[in-house]
Amino acid sequence: MAEYDLTQQLIPHLDRQLAIPLLAHLSDIAIFPAEQLAKAQYDLVKGTNMVDYVEQLYSQLPNAEPKDFSSLREAATSKYQTLQEAAQPVMKVIEDPDAVAKLRSNVDREKNLEILRTEYNIDIDGINALYHFGQYQYSLGAYANAANFLYHFLLFSPSFDLNISAHWGKLACNILVGEWESALTEVKDLRDLIDNPHGTSMSKPLAQLQARTWLLHWSLFVFFNLGEVTGCQSLLEMFLTPAYLNTIQTSCPHLLRYLVAAAIISRRAPKPAGTRGNRDHVKDLTKIVSMEEYQYSDPVTSFLKDLFSDFDFGKAQERLSVAESVVRQDFFLSGFADEFVENARWLISEVFCRIHQRIDISELSKTLNLSNEEGEKWIVNLIRDSRMGVDAKIDLKSNMLHISRHHTTPTVTLIETTRGLAFRSQAVNYAMQSTTGERRDGGERGRGRGRPRGGRSEVEAAT
Amino acid sequence: MANRFLKGAASSDEDSDEEDKTIVLSAKDKRFAEMDAAIHNIQNATKSATGSSNDWVLASSELDKLLRFIGRHQASMISSPIPPAGHIPPTFLQTLVELEEGVNSTIASEKAAAKKMAPVKAKALSGLKQTLKKRSKEFEGVLKIYNEDPAAYASAYESANAVPAPVKAPKKAVAQGADGEADSADFMTIGKGGKALNLTTEGVFRTLRDIFEARGRKNTDRAETIRILSKLLEVSTTTYQRIRVYLALIPARLDYSQSLVSIPHDSWVSCLHELDALISLLIQEPDYVVQEQTEEYDDLVDREPTVVDGKTQRVAVAGSLIGMLENLDNEFTKTLQHTDAHDKGSDYIERLREELPLYVAIVKAQALFEREALSDHVTRAVMRRLEHIYAKPDVVINHFEDAVGKTASGLQSQVTPFGVTRDASALVHLLCVFIYQSEAPLLRARAILAHIFSHASHGRYHQARDLLLMSHLQDTVQHADVITQILYNRAVMQLGLAAFRQGYIAECQTILAEMFSTQRQKELLAQSIQRYNTQLSPEQELVEKRRLLPFHMHLNIELLEAAYLTSCMLIEVPLLAAADSEEQRRRIASKTFKRLLDMAERQAFMGPPENTRDHIIKASKALQAGEWEKAKELILTIKVWTLLENVDAVRDMLAKKIQEEGLRTYLFTYSSFYASLSLSHLSSTFSLSVPAINSIISRMIYSDELAASLDPIDGVVIFHRVEQTEVQRLSQQLAERAAMLLEQNEKTLDQKLGSQNRGEERGQTTGTDGAARGRTERRGGTRGG
């Protein structure tokens, strides 16, 4: 299983702290030698200021020589204190309810800065102290505090680069603390900042590509913890946007596994109104998977290809059992293994029924990795689900499933084509009448509509 | 009269005089030869003694020539120190006198003769008489002297010209024999005279300056200049002198070709050697540097590096190494362009052989520029290097690199470290990556295209495709310069071929489609000039000719066409079979392929296939009729495939694809005649395994191409196709038309309404659209130049 493990591909795009749970997971499932893992964990944590944790990991190393961590700890503590002192004045203001009220009543960031400067004698450096203190707390492992400081920093800071960095920091904190909802908003904020660079340092294609790659990786934590339905759907929504799909194809094709898995898992979930059907996702993904096969493939993606490109059910079934174990061991997907398998089975049987006219139930059960009886139950459920679009009957005597399809007669197609023609023509007619009548004031109305909207967006930006 | 000539002679400065003469002399000799010839002609034409050849037309034109010459001669004589007595050669005067006599006598006899002269001749004769009258007035004074005593005049002329005489004689020898020994003898003579060139070590700079001053003047003899300079090279001793002479000699050689299409090959070769020597010299002598911009210095003084404050002051010499290198490279291309690779194959190969030393020189220059930290020049040199290798097979590149490794010992390079063995692709990669970091967008674009070409020709389709898509060149290439467009077309063609070799048939078809939608692939690839646009002016034609690629860079159009048409066949034939109506059929087919098919259909009799195209069209017909074995045989016997690297793999791939597409075509065409078909029967007919057939049919069913379903228990495929009656079909068509009409109306209305609301919408959408980068245009087609 070790060959399908993605941790090594994922870590370069993650923050040091975010990689810690990944490695911890690896040591849980034990597919790699323990000593190597312990070493890797130590190397990873060494760069942080979590001295206690470092010491603990160090002691676990097989040939660890005794090493003095107290000096490290002292250095960390003293640094903590200096930073805390620097951030003190701002903190005071923030903790003061009067000041907060005053600041909150203002929507303009510039004005708030002005107030801070004149009334409380806090300049930019003071605000930046918040950022540094937050960053340090983050490196100490005090994520909740760090998130708090960064939140306040974001309220005041005018610097774009620091703000981006603070957003990343806050996202990491939220992830590590487990506040998935606020992490989701943070992901959205970052996405907004990355996609609309407007002449900042992010507008360079390369910087944008890297930021997107990071965001894709970091958001995995968020989406797979939000719950089966919403998480997977938001993931699909974000990953399938052309810009992010391109990023996946260009710099991190290994994320295709999560994309495919999410598509399969959320396949039967009720869809929010107005979105495309999942079948389109699957179709698109099959295309992408076979296009990127030359640079990435694993059991999960190959399953999709076997099923929808080669229509090889035997192979798909074998692949599914491998994919299942891969999913079970994956850090992000392990919680969804059962859903994954169940939905994958649905996919198989759906395609199977679409193509065949008579199906031997025992054969199908074998394809689905089920016993004969289970298979029967499964099929009954399948038939009950009307989404299959076929009529199926079980012939118990010969243990056979008969599928009959409604064939469209030419008359039906003809009616189908002409349906709505009259209505649509009328609509065109009405539209034409209304435009010729309102042509003159149309422009004004457009302008009138534009103004309040612009005003509102300004307000939104300020708050 | 004579005074007029005197004036100029008296006032002329001695110094410039010398110089003038040395250059003028050779021209003068030529003129004298011309004059003699003209006089001879006149004498022949007017030999009234025999009376047979009174060719006055010829005589008249020759006289004109003669007069023109004498005018020029006089002009040149004005500034010479020769006394006026020596100005007009006696032979000329003699001719004048004789001619006048002849004319007069002829006119006299003409009056008496009964038979009239031919009108043309008569006209020429009278014209001649007029000219003579006019001209003799000009030369009246001299003529008088001459007429009094021709012999005395001749001797006076001789004595007047006695001084330049010794110079004249050897000069004639130069004009005749061009070998080195004769040269040295000549130059010695001049040296003795103390007037002309100073070909000693001390006089190098002086001579150089003289040559620089003469350069670009009308009557400069370029060959002569080159000879003098190469002589100078032999006598120059110090490094500085040699650099200076090289810097004069190489451009002189490159200048030589102004009237010719390209400089002669041997001249080019020596030029290459000299440039190579100059680069080696500069590499050996790190204290000398050639720069395009230097401080002012006295060019008559020898200079050496001096040590000031412990630091060596380097000697900077004005000159452009990169310019010379590029010119030399361009000349190389020109020579190849003007050598016919088919008729003069051995010549072509001989010239091509010189690419190796040229490449080595470029690499050395690159190392030199790197040492001087001239980043711009390094980039240009690297680009030249890349241009020499990007389209070559690995064996050739390795051979080049071996040669570089042998000569370039002791050189340092950051870009391409010497002494490291690397394969050809790695080298191309290194060079390209270096150019990507440079500032010049043009070179960057070309480097990317060269990289794509190299990837594609090595069969790395995906890398090449990703590079092309990430470069976004297909959006901007139509604004690029022609050379870049040509390179783009080449890269795209190669990419299509790579796709074909890897078995990506659909990709191959899309990539190549645009190139083959016109009939002008050769022009787009710069492998021939436009044939169809007859309004091309000569200048445009010349420009186009200059762009043509030398033969060894050509892509094989026949192979590309074979790949394209075969992909078309594999894709279009099943589609054509699936299409119900003629209209649908018209919509899908690629135009080129469809036209060929239709043409074949119209032929009453189809003979055995002769060329590649015939093979493919016949194969398509066979495939349509379900005879996949015949189609396979026809396709596999195409000879061009042997040019591909992995022929056998490609043939296997093609055979398999033909089987599969044959099955699909068969099912589309004949499914309406069957209620069910046994899979094992299909398997034996198409020699495909049952699972493979299963998979193909499943895909067709799933994608709604085929109305059928499988019955695994009996091992058959059951067709559900419901046949339409004619009325149903027609009414369906009518309904579709109506729906289309409505859609069109809605679209038009949308556009009309949209113009009002568009402004707002655009403001909201551009944010995300504009930020979308990467591979959105994945299937976005290609564009030719």
Backbone φ and ψ for A459, nearest 5 degrees, come out as: -60, -45
Chain B's closest residue to A447, CA to CA, is: B760
What's the rounded Cα separation, in Å, for the pair A393 and A380?
9
Rounded CA separation B70/B118 (Å)? 30
- Residue A460, domain member (yes or no): no
Neighbour-count burial of A463, counting CB atoms closer than 10 A to its CB (0-12 exposed, 13-18 middle, 19+ buried): exposed
Q: Are B152 and B144 in contact (CB under 8 A)?
A: no
- Of B282, B283, B284, B291, give the one whose Cα is nearest residue B317: B291
Neighbours of B584 (CB within 10 A): 13
Determine the Cα–Cα distance for residues A133 and A151; give it in Å rounded to an integer: 12
My answer on whether A343 and A235 are in the same domain is yes
Percent of chain A with pLDDT over 90: 1
Do A351 and A229 have their domain in common? yes
Q: If you count residue pairs, one on A and one on B, with CB atoms under 8 Å apart, how many are there? A: 123
Instruction: Select from B695, B771, B774 the Cβ nearest to the Cβ of A311.
Output: B695
Contact yes or no for B718 and A197 at CB 8 A: no
User: What's the pLDDT at B488?
Assistant: 92
Chain B residue numbers with beta carbons less than 8 Å from the beta carbon of A410 are: 722, 724-725, 728-729, 732
| Same domain flag for A264 and A284 | yes
Buried b (16+ CB within 10 A) or exposed e, B612-625: bbbbbbbbbbbbbe
Q: Does any CB of chain B come closer than 8 Å to the CB of residue A405? A: yes
Rounded to a whole number of angstroms, the distance from the CA of A434 to the nearest CA of chain B is 10
CB B411 within 8 A of CB B347: no
Cα distance from A245 to chain B (closest Cα, Å)? 9
Task: Find where tokens 């904020």 sit.
Answer: A189
What sign does the dihedral B115-B118-B123-B127 (CA atoms) show? negative
Q: Cα B390 to the chain's mean position, in Å?
A: 17
| Residue in B128, B154, B20, B122 with CA at minimum distance from that of residue B81 | B20
**pLDDT bucket at A152, cuts 50 / 70 / 90:** confident
**pLDDT reported for residue A445:** 42
Record: contact A311-B698, CB cut-off 8 A: yes
Q: Given B714, B767, B774, which is nearest A250 (Cβ)?
A: B774
Tell me the pLDDT tens digit for each residue of A208-242: 888 899 999 999 888 888 876 778 888 888 888 88
What are the residue ranges spanned by the domains of chain B? Answer: 2-163, 557-673
- For residue B396, give the amino acid letter: V
CB atoms within 10 A of CB B46: 25
Element (H, E) at A204: none
A349 and A369 in one domain?
A: no
What do you get for the CA distance between the two ends of chain A, in Å?
Answer: 49
Domain, as residue range, for A365: 361-427
Which pLDDT score is estimated for A389?
Answer: 54
Name every chain B residue with its beta carbon within 8 A of the beta carbon of A408: 722
* A37: CB partners within 8 A, 6+ apart: A23, A26, A27
Averaged pLDDT for residues A323-337:
87
Q: Tell me whether strands B288-291 and B315-318 are parallel, antiparallel or unpaired.
A: parallel
Which residues in chain B are closer than 8 Å to A414, comparing Cβ atoms?
Answer: 728, 731-732, 735
Domain identity same for A342 and A273:
yes
Instruction: Give me the residues of A, 273-292, that contact B with CB < 8 A.
Output: 291
Chain B residues touching A291 at Cβ < 8 A: 778
**Within an 8 Å CB–CB cutoff, is residue A247 touching chain B?**
yes
In a domain, A173, yes or no: no
A196, A250, A360 ranked by CB distance to B713: nearest? A360
pLDDT, residue B770, reads: 36
Q: What distances in angstroms separate CA B754 from CA A274, B747, B748, B762, one per listed residue?
A: 22, 10, 10, 11
Which residues, numbered 98 to 157 in chain A, qualify as contacts with chain B under a Cβ-Cβ cut-off of 8 Å? none
Compute the Cα dihedral for A368, A372, A377, A383 and give only its sign: positive
pLDDT of B581: 65
Asked if residue B63 lies in contact with residue B11, where contact means CB atoms within 8 angstroms, the answer is no
Residue B495: its pLDDT value, please? 93
Indicate if A235 and A346 belong to the same structural domain.
yes
CB–CB contact B732 A360 (8 Å): no
> Looking at the 3D structure of chain A, how many domains does it have?
2
SS3 A395: strand
Probe site for chain B from A315, A356, A401 (most B CB atoms < 10 A): A356
Q: Do B760 and A359 touch (CB under 8 A)?
A: no
The CA distance from B299 to B213, in Å, is: 13
Q: What is the dihedral of CA B460, B465, B471, B472, to 10 degrees?
A: 170
Same domain (yes/no): A234, A349: yes
Look at residue B38 and give its three-state secondary structure: helix
Residues in CB range of B362: below 8 A, 6 or more apart: B325, B329, B381, B384, B385, B388
The distance of B723 to chain A (nearest Cα, Å) reads 8
List, in order, residues 6 or more apart from A113 with CB less than 8 Å away.
A124, A127, A156, A158
Whether the CB-CB separation of A381 and A368 falls below 8 Å is answered with no
- CB–CB of B711 and A249 under 8 A? no
Q: What is the predicted pLDDT for the residue at B518?
A: 78
Count the residues in chain A.
Answer: 463
Are A331 and A303 part of one and the same domain?
Answer: yes
Cα–Cα distance, B453 to B457 (Å, whole number): 6
pLDDT at B500: 92
Is A110 part of any domain?
no
CA distances (Å), origin B275, targets B265, B304, B386: 15, 22, 20
Do residues A233 and A350 both lie within one domain?
yes
Same domain assignment for residues A249 and A295: yes
Please give the full DSSP string across B151-205, using - where no structure is assigned. HHHHHHHHHHTTTTHHHHHHHHHHHH---HHHHHHHHHHHHHHTSS---SSTTHH
pTM: 0.70
**Which amino acid, residue A111?**
K
Tokens of A393: 């009957």
A420 and A338 in a single domain? The answer is no
Inter-chain CB proximity A446 and B760 less than 8 Å: yes
Give the bridge partners for B312, in sequence order: B307
Q: Best mutation site among A244, A366, A417, A425 for testing chain B: the one with the most B CBs within 10 Å?
A: A417
Establish if A257 belongs to a structural domain: yes
Distance between CA atoms of residues B126 and B710, nearest Å: 106
Whether A405 has a pLDDT exceeding 90, the answer reads no
Q: What is the rounded CA–CA span in Å between residue A168 and residue A193?
A: 11
The answer to whether the CB atoms of A421 and B738 lie below 8 A apart is: yes
For every residue of A237-264, DSSP letters joined together read HHHTSHHHHHHHHHH-GGGHHHHHHHHH
Contact: A243, B768; criterion CB under 8 Å: yes
At residue B21, the pLDDT reads 44
How many CB atoms within 10 Å of residue A298? 20
* Helix, strand, coil in percent for chain B, rounding step 5: 70, 5, 25
Look at residue B781 in the predicted model and tell me its pLDDT.
Answer: 36
Residues of A in contact with B746 (CB under 8 A): 424, 428
The pLDDT value given to residue B375: 82
Per-10-residue mean pLDDT of chain B, 785 residues long, equals 45 42 54 74 64 65 75 64 62 75 72 62 74 72 71 68 44 39 41 47 73 68 76 77 82 72 79 87 82 73 70 77 87 82 78 86 87 85 89 86 76 73 85 86 89 91 88 83 89 92 89 83 77 68 78 86 90 83 67 83 79 88 88 88 86 91 89 86 88 89 83 84 78 88 88 62 38 36 36
Of A331, A355, A379, the last residue of a domain is: A355
Residue A363 at interface with chain B, using a CB cutoff of 8 Å? yes
- Candidates A357, A390, A451, partner chain B, best to mutate (most B CBs within 10 A): A357
Q: Are B58 and B45 in contact (CB under 8 A)?
A: yes
